[in-house]
Amino acid sequence: MKLPALFDATQAEVLWIAPDPNKIDVQHVISSDLMSDVLMMDLEHPLLLTSLVSDQSLRTAHVVEAAAVLIANDKTPPPQMVQLAAELQIPLARTALSKFDAAVVLGKALAR
């Protein structure tokens, strides 16, 4: 599924996005606040759903070549995190949904 459609489904506010987001196709979601666990998963270009607001979410996403990072629980990443997203070219968005609700919405959207 296209990344913008997933952001729409979770009513996400997009903080940084690649110039051509419709080219980003997402098939997998990793939902975790534990970056160590994210690093253990072998999934192709997953969307990282997390409530961990720190540079480490983006750095981890970069290392596992995640398609995007979606921050849940209505948290707002600080400006330098948005800047890092642009630097690492990783789409970053935030949603007011809880991590569980966001995961349910994403799961339903991908199952369609």
Give least dist CB 37 to other proteins, A. Answer: 6
Which 9-68 residues touch other proteins, going by CB under 8 A? 33-37, 39-40, 50, 52, 54-57, 59-60, 62-65
The answer to whether 66 touches 47, Cβ cutoff 8 Å, is: yes
Which one, 34 or 104, has the nearer CB to other proteins?
34
Which one, 27 or 56, has the nearer CB to other proteins?
56
Give least dist CB 109 to other proteins, A. Answer: 25
